[in-house]
Amino acid sequence: MDKLRVLVVKMVGALGEENVVTLDTLNDLGDVLIENGEYEEARIVLERCLAGREKVLGEYHKDTLGTVNNLGIAYKELENYEKALEYYERALKGKEKTLGKTHPDSLNIMVNIAGVYQEGLKDYRKAEELCQRALKGYEEQLGKDHHSTMSCAKGLAICLGFAGEKQKLRKILDEYHDLLEGDHSEWFKERL
């Protein structure tokens, strides 16, 4: 990670802050910082990257929207859920505008938003609604056996378990029976 920090400094000196390659490296540094749990530094790096990408690439460029989503991740991990929602919703709006409402990239961000409602805000109804929409989109776009579809079904099942929605939980577990064999299998069984 220190090598990546040094590389960013060298690239800014050689290519400038607003060079596309410099901005890519800044975003990569933000990703690595998130992966290593350094969320505040990631937030700072990603804010810097976003300012450059908006200026150079525009608000709706896929790379700009990727940085917006990454900022949502950083803010969620910092437990600033309102700010996380702000960035995730902005990223979702952009992805839906450029790729469509059922594109997997749009659905991935929808799942991120559901995670904020579920884990941070404890609004299981809103999280369930978003997971249901995302799951329907994944099923249509990728099929029921795709890992993204299965992951979304698992997230929905967890949400339903927390909400105490036993009938809905049973239905999703009947439909996606492989979830009863995974790492949350006992947790699901306890909630039925």
Predicted confidence at residue 151, as pLDDT, reads 92
The reported pTM is: 0.89
Is residue 86 assigned to a domain? yes
Is residue 48 assigned to a domain? yes
Predicted confidence at residue 192, as pLDDT, reads 65
Domain count, the chain: 1
DSSP state of 191: T
- Tens digits of pLDDT across the chain (192 residues): 788 889 888 888 899 999 999 999 999 999 999 999 999 999 999 999 999 999 999 999 999 999 999 999 999 999 999 999 999 999 999 999 999 999 999 999 999 999 999 999 999 999 999 999 999 999 999 999 999 999 999 999 999 998 999 899 889 988 887 776 767 677 777 776
Predicted confidence at residue 4, as pLDDT, reads 82
Backbone region of residue 16 per phi and psi (left: phi > 0; alpha: psi in -120 to 50; beta: other values): left
Predicted confidence at residue 181, as pLDDT, reads 74
Predicted confidence at residue 1, as pLDDT, reads 73
Predicted confidence at residue 115, as pLDDT, reads 96
Task: Name which of 75, 147, 72 is nearest 113 in CA terms.
Answer: 72
Is residue 62 assigned to a domain? yes
Its domain, for residue 35, covers: 1-99
Is residue 81 assigned to a domain? yes
Predicted confidence at residue 25, as pLDDT, reads 94
DSSP state of 59: T
Is residue 147 assigned to a domain? no
Predicted confidence at residue 23, as pLDDT, reads 96
Going from the C-alpha of 147 to that of each of 66, 137, 150, the distances in angstroms are: 21, 13, 5
User: What CATH number is associated with residue 88?
Assistant: 1.25.40.10
